[in-house]
Amino acid sequence: MNKVNFEKTADLINKQDEWRDRCINLIASENVQSKKVRSFAGSDFTHRYAEGHPGERYYKGTNFIDQIESDLKLNLKNIFKCEHTEVRPISGTNSNEAIFSKFVNKEDIVMANSTPGGGHISHHRLGALGKFTKNIIDFPLTADGYHLDVEKTKDLINRIKPKIIVLGKSLFLFPEPIAELRDVCEQNKTKIIYDGAHVLGLIAGKRFQDPLEDGALMVSASTHKTYFGSQRGLILSNMDAESWRKVDRGAFPGSSSNHHLGTLAQMALSTLEFMEFGEDYSGQIIKNAKHLAVSLGKEGFKVEAKEFGYTESHQVAVNVNEYGGGSLISTLLEQNDIILNMNMLPHEPLKNHNNPEGLRIGVAEMTRYGMNEPEMEKIAELMKEVVIEKKSVKEEVNKLRAGYQEVKYSFDNTEA
Ligand SMILES: Cc1ncc(COP(=O)(O)O)c(C=O)c1O
Q: 122: CA distance to ligand 1 center in Å? A: 7
How many angstroms separate the alpha carbon of residue 113 from the centre of ligand 1? 13
92 CA distance to ligand 1 centroid (A)?
A: 5
- Residue 32 included in any domain: no
Report how far residue 343's alpha carbon sits from residue 330's, in angstroms, rounded to the nearest whole number.
Answer: 10
Is residue 15 included in any domain, yes or no? no
- Report yes or no on 2 lying in a domain: no
How many domains are contained in the chain?
1
Test site for ligand 1: of 218, 222, 224, most ligand atoms within 8 A of the Cβ = 222
Question: Do the domain assignments include residue 31?
Answer: no
Asked whether residue 371 is assigned to any structural domain, the reply reads no
pLDDT of residue 302: 98
Confidence at residue 155, expressed as pLDDT on a 0 to 100 scale: 98
pLDDT < 70 positions in the chain: 1-2, 416
CATH number at residue 113: 3.40.640.10
Other C-beta atoms lying within 10 Å of the C-beta of residue 206: 12
Domain that holds residue 187: 38-270
Question: To test the ligand 1 pocket, which listed residue (173, 194, 198) has its Cβ within 8 A of the most ligand atoms?
Answer: 198
* 397 CA from centroid of ligand 1 (Å): 28
Q: If you take atom 8 of ligand 1, which residue's CA is the nearest one?
A: 92
Please tell me the predicted confidence (pLDDT) of residue 4: 83
Q: How far is the CA of 331 from the centre of ligand 1 (A)?
A: 23
Any residues with Cβ below 6 Å from ligand 1, and which? 29, 91-93, 96, 120, 122, 168-170, 195, 197-198, 222, 233
Q: State the distance from the centre of ligand 1 to the C-alpha of 380, rounded, in angstroms.
A: 27
Q: What is the 3-state secondary structure (H, E, C) of the chain?
A: CCCCCHHHHHHHHHHHHHHHHHCEECCCCCCCCCHHHHCCCCCHHHHCCCCEECCEECCCCCHHHHHHHHHHHHHHHHHHCCCEEECCCCCHHHHHHHHHHHHCCCCCCEEECCCCCCCCHHHCCCCCHHHCCCCEEECCECCCCCCECHHHHHHHHHHHCCCEEEECCCCCCCCCCHHHHHHHHHHCCCEEEEECCCCHHHHHCCCCCCHHHHCCCEEEEECCCCCCCCCCEEEEECCCHHHHHHHHHHHHHHHCCCCCHHHHHHHHHHHHHHHHHHHHHHHHHHHHHHHHHHHHHHCCCEECCHHHCCCCCCEEEEECHHHCCHHHHHHHHHHCCEECEEECCCCCCHHHHHCCCEEEEECHHHHHCCCCHHHHHHHHHHHHHHHCCCCCCHHHHHHHHHCCCCCCCCCCCCCC
Residue 222 CA to ligand 1 center (angstroms) comes to 6
Q: Name residues whose C-beta falls within 8 Å of residue 134's C-beta, 6 or more positions apart in sequence.
A: 107, 125
- Sequence-distant (≥ 6) Cβ neighbours of residue 403 within 8 angstroms: none
The pLDDT tens digits for 3-47 are 789 999 999 999 999 999 999 999 999 999 999 999 999 999 999
**Whole-number pLDDT of residue 1:** 63
Q: What is the pLDDT of residues 98-122, one digit of tens each?
A: 999 999 999 899 999 999 999 999 9
CA distance 414 to 216: 38
Residue-wise pLDDT tens digits, 281-300: 999 999 999 999 999 999 99
Q: Cα dist. 277→15, 17, 176, 201 in Å?
A: 31, 25, 26, 11
Assess if residue 118 is contained within a domain. yes
Closest residue by Cα to atom 16, ligand 1, is 170
What whole-number distance in Å separates Cα of residue 236 and Cα of residue 251? 12
Closest CA relative to residue 230, chosen from 264, 206, 196, 255: 264
Q: Would 378 be classed as within a structural domain?
A: no
Is 403 within 8 Å of 314 (Cβ atoms)?
A: no
What is this structure's pTM?
A: 0.97
User: Which residues share a beta bridge with 339?
Assistant: 25
What are the backbone angles phi and psi of residue 156, rounded to the nearest 5°? -65, -40
Substitution candidate for ligand 1 out of 93, 172, 223 with most atoms within 8 A of CB: 93
Of 146, 179, 177, whose CA–CA distance to 307 is shortest? 146
Q: Is residue 3 part of a domain?
A: no
Q: What is the pLDDT of residue 100?
A: 98
